[in-house]
Amino acid sequence: MPSSASSTSPQPTTSPAHPPRVAALIGPYSSGKTSLLESLLAATGRIHRKGSIRDHNTVGDYNAESRSREMSTELTCAQTTYLGEEWHFIDCPGSVDFAQDAREAAMICDVAIVVVEPDPSRVMTVAPTLKFLDRNRIPHLIFINKTDHTSFRLQDSFDALQSISERPLVIREIPIRDMNSPDEPITGFVDIVSERTYQYLEGQPSKLIAMPSTVATRESQTREGLLEALADFDDRLLEQILEDQNPATETIYENLERDLANDLIVPVFFGSGEHDHGIIRLLKALRHEAPSSDVCAHRLGIDPDPAQTVLQIFKTAHLSHAGRFCFARILSGQIKNGDALGTDKVSGLCTLYADKHEKLDLGTTGAIVGLPRMEKLRTGSLVSSDGEMETLWPDPLPPLYETGLAVTKPGDDVKLTEALRHLCEQDRSISFGHHASTGQLVLAGQGDIHLQCAMAHLAEHYHLEITPTPVLTGYLETIRKPVSARGRYKKQTGGHGQFGDAAIELRPLARGDGFEFSEHIVGGAIPRQYISAVEKGVRDGLRSGSLGFPVVDVAVKLVDGSFHAVDSSDQAFQMAGRIAIGEALKVAGPVLLEPVDKCTISIPSDFTSKAQRLVSTRRGQILGFNAKDGWQGWDEIDVQMPTSETADMVTELRSLTQGTGFFTRSYSHMQELGGKQADAVVSAHQKSKN
């Protein structure tokens, strides 16, 4: 989490043509987003020496967890200026475990730069990102990274990407290669709109050169493709093309700008963050084509008005020196210290540059700002000076993976609850709670690494020693046959004795019917005032049946008994009820019940058969499968699966589906579990009690 620093932020030198804009670097795990941010910051003069993932000194991966794991674990904001215009880049984590942060960032950006690797066989890893962007109509472009050492044809990468994108992709540049070198490295590119050719120079801006004759045909074909794609959304351009007129470059740029803002097309660039290839080209495209913050504001339901301040909170952190610290984008108006945001008051307004917070006097429309010590605001809050407004912010990702938690030091429980509350505010895809039937404290998130990082955070920032424990399954038990039993409790100690005697009938009920108690006492065999005491004793006895689990779906009828005028008491009849049910359960044919979840598994259709196999190896039952509504090329499988199998299913599902598969689950019902599996559960449970 960020800490404060006192340097002042660089101010734009010239009057900016555009208000501040936001670009989110998003895309699959390890595609080079953090390295690309390093390159963008160097190209815009914000840093003079690039850090690297290897050396653990990048701006994006500033926190200890990201550095040690060499992967981003949360979003990082970094402000810079390019040709007098203010830019806020957000480096998003790519791992599916941290998808929540990436989504929150994408929601407030003007343009998402989807950073991908060239390997066409791994294209599916990009699919969830593109789906999210398309569903939320977030303008985005693709940057095919790591082209410094690729053996793939970029046309193949492009075709693979097109196969998973709902929007048409448009190629903005084509590579030129050194054909004399055995692995034919990419040495530069031809810009399809300006038709200029540039040669990469290590450590220097690319050099303008003449277009090699070898790429001329390809260039004109690609340009034709680009114009045709644009003409689909512009009748005048279509007419020009049909009449063989060459449209003015200005017209092409206008189309590109408009179509990107409306999320109609997805421009595709390429390069290498590590070698600074294609970076200026990317920056220029952003400068000229990225929409202004108005588009984002409208998307979030705001009509921007300079006289009204509206902010969208997209991240919350708990910082030792700044309390609840909100990351906010100004969608309308401006903000300064002393302003009200509902019941919260702004003080300590700052800019964000990784973990450095710099004092800011005035935040203007479009900028990202930090708001320390907010009481009410949370991620997702859309707020004006009058208070919070209705928001279109999406729900958090549902939990996919769980672990049990135990604190090592006695007395840390209260501190843990508070720390967990903070954690869940920081990352909305984490939740915690006590399991209804096992009572275990369970932490739920997106995957194993996600929860490991969460626990590391609790240890580092809250000094809590936490032991993860396996998640307990809420097994129950029931009975198979009706039986009768009697419980007599008799004690003679000195003066007053204790006496209670209850005869019961126990019978099974239908699954899900819970517990029923009735009585049929005739002739005053048990005085009426003791009947509820017997029931209490029975209920007590049902808390742990003969297999050791709570007993459900049974009916108990109190049918007979006897009492003693002096020695009988509530307590004695409770004991009698307890003894009676204990005896009855032993002979009623106990059977274990396990919880079953209803899950809907979503996967790209290429992986459907693998997912079906996974379901059957985990004792699941397939209820049906369909094409996923609104998700071209995806299937949805409805299954019922024992809860003990769903708790860690996501790890295997992801490894079978290039990280793309996900599911929702909810409790469905209890079902009988017999044989060796039941024996194993019972003996493990008994061992844990000894």
Ligand X SMILES: Nc1nc2c(ncn2[C@@H]2O[C@H](COP(=O)(O)OP(=O)(O)OP(=O)(O)O)[C@@H](O)[C@H]2O)c(=O)[nH]1
Query: Which tokens is 532 given?
Result: 């509820």
**Residue 25 CB, nearest approach to Mg ion (Å):** 8
Region near Mg ion per CB under 5 A, out of 65-73, 244-252, 398-406, 561-569: 65-73
Residues near Mg ion (CB under 5 A), total: 3
Query: Which tokens is 275 given?
Result: 């070698």
Chosen residue from 21, 33, 357, 428 binding Mg ion by CB under 5 A: 33
> Residues of 645-659 as b/e, b for ≥16 C-beta within 10 angstroms?
bbbbbbebbbebbbb
Judged by DSSP in three states, 139 sits in: coil
**Residue 144 CB, nearest approach to ligand X (Å):** 10
- Contact (Cβ atoms closer than 8 angstroms) between residue 91 and residue 60: yes
Residue 515 binding target from ligand X, Mg ion, none, CB below 5 to 8 Å by type: none
Sheet holding 186-191, edge to edge: 173-177, 186-191, 197-201, 204-209
Tell me if 35 contacts Mg ion by CB under 5 A.
no
Q: Which helix H or strand E contains 457, and what residues bound it?
A: helix 448-462
**Residue 49 CB, nearest approach to ligand X (Å):** 16
C-alpha 653/C-alpha 651 separation (Å) is 6
Residue 30 binding target from Mg ion, ligand X, none, CB below 5 to 8 Å by type: ligand X
Tell me if 146 contacts Mg ion by CB under 5 A.
no
Region near Mg ion per CB under 5 A, out of 68-76, 121-129, 186-194, 250-258: 68-76
**Residue 151 CB, nearest approach to ligand X (Å):** 12
Residue 152 binding target from ligand X, Mg ion, none, CB below 5 to 8 Å by type: none
Tell me if 145 contacts Mg ion by CB under 5 A.
no
Residue 175 binding target from ligand X, Mg ion, none, CB below 5 to 8 Å by type: none
**Residue 297 CB, nearest approach to Mg ion (Å):** 28
C-alpha 112/C-alpha 22 separation (Å) is 9
- Contact (Cβ atoms closer than 8 angstroms) between residue 583 and residue 512: no
C-alpha 102/C-alpha 300 separation (Å) is 17
C-alpha 26/C-alpha 260 separation (Å) is 17
Between residues 273 and 604, which has the closer beta carbon with respect to Mg ion? 273
**Residue 266 CB, nearest approach to ligand X (Å):** 19
**Residue 323 CB, nearest approach to Mg ion (Å):** 27
Between residues 27 and 175, which has the closer beta carbon with respect to Mg ion? 27
- Contact (Cβ atoms closer than 8 angstroms) between residue 407 and residue 466: yes
Query: Which tokens is 119 given?
Result: 């390997």
**Residue 353 CB, nearest approach to ligand X (Å):** 17
Q: Which amino acid is at 156?
A: D
Between residues 446 and 574, which has the closer beta carbon with respect to Mg ion? 446
Tell me if 602 contacts Mg ion by CB under 5 A.
no
**Residue 622 CB, nearest approach to ligand X (Å):** 33
Judged by DSSP in three states, 285 sits in: helix
Query: Which tokens is 655 given?
Result: 């490894």
The H helix count followed by the E strand count for the chain is 18, 35
- Contact (Cβ atoms closer than 8 angstroms) between residue 313 and residue 375: no
CB-facing half-sphere around the CA of 451: CA atoms within 13 A: 23
Residue 272 binding target from Mg ion, ligand X, none, CB below 5 to 8 Å by type: ligand X
Q: Which helix H or strand E contains 220, and what residues bound it?
A: helix 213-231
Q: Where does 442-561 have alpha helices with state H?
A: 448-462, 531-542
C-alpha 456/C-alpha 461 separation (Å) is 8
Between residues 66 and 574, which has the closer beta carbon with respect to ligand X? 66
**Residue 289 CB, nearest approach to ligand X (Å):** 22
- Contact (Cβ atoms closer than 8 angstroms) between residue 416 and residue 623: no
Between residues 148 and 191, which has the closer beta carbon with respect to ligand X? 148
Between residues 115 and 639, which has the closer beta carbon with respect to Mg ion? 115
Residue 95 binding target from ligand X, Mg ion, none, CB below 5 to 8 Å by type: ligand X
Query: Which tokens is 56 given?
Result: 């653990």
C-alpha 264/C-alpha 640 separation (Å) is 39
- Contact (Cβ atoms closer than 8 angstroms) between residue 325 and residue 2: yes
Q: What is the 3-state secondary structure (H, E, C) of 615-660?
A: HHHCCCEEEEEEECCCCCCEEEEEEEEEHHHHCCHHHHHHHHCCCC
Region near Mg ion per CB under 5 A, out of 1-9, 29-37, 115-123, 447-455: 29-37
**Residue 129 CB, nearest approach to Mg ion (Å):** 14
Between residues 34 and 643, which has the closer beta carbon with respect to Mg ion? 34
Q: Where does 44-138 have alpha helices with state H?
A: 64-69, 99-107, 127-135
**Interface with ligand X (CB under 6 A):** 29-35, 53, 71-72, 93-95, 145-146, 148-149, 272-274
Tell me if 73 contacts Mg ion by CB under 5 A.
no
Between residues 145 and 255, which has the closer beta carbon with respect to Mg ion? 145
Query: Which tokens is 180 given?
Result: 């004399």
Burial of 79 (0-12, 13-18, 19+ CB in 10 A): buried
Region near Mg ion per CB under 5 A, out of 26-34, 141-149, 383-391, 496-504: 26-34
Between residues 115 and 171, which has the closer beta carbon with respect to ligand X? 115
Tell me if 34 contacts Mg ion by CB under 5 A.
yes
Region near Mg ion per CB under 5 A, out of 27-35, 342-350, 529-537, 671-679: 27-35
Query: Which tokens is 224 given?
Result: 């034709």
Q: Using CB atoms, what's the residue nearest to ligand X?
A: 94
- Contact (Cβ atoms closer than 8 angstroms) between residue 185 and residue 271: no
**Residue 117 CB, nearest approach to ligand X (Å):** 9
Query: What are 503's strand-pairing partners?
Result: 486, 560
Region near Mg ion per CB under 5 A, out of 70-78, 529-537, 569-577, 600-608: 70-78
Between residues 29 and 233, which has the closer beta carbon with respect to ligand X? 29
Between residues 50 and 628, which has the closer beta carbon with respect to ligand X? 50
Chosen residue from 63, 72, 150, 255 binding Mg ion by CB under 5 A: 72
**Residue 366 CB, nearest approach to ligand X (Å):** 25
* Chain centroid offset of residue 631 CA: 19
Restricted to residues 355-414, the positions that interact with Mg ion (CB under 5 A) are none
**Residue 276 CB, nearest approach to ligand X (Å):** 9
Other CB atoms within a 10 A radius of the CB of residue 526 amount to 25
Between residues 29 and 152, which has the closer beta carbon with respect to Mg ion? 29
Residue 446 binding target from ligand X, Mg ion, none, CB below 5 to 8 Å by type: none
C-alpha 562/C-alpha 203 separation (Å) is 97
Ramachandran region, residue 320 (left: φ > 0; alpha: ψ -120 to 50; beta: rest): alpha
Residues that bind Mg ion (CB under 5 A): 33-34, 72
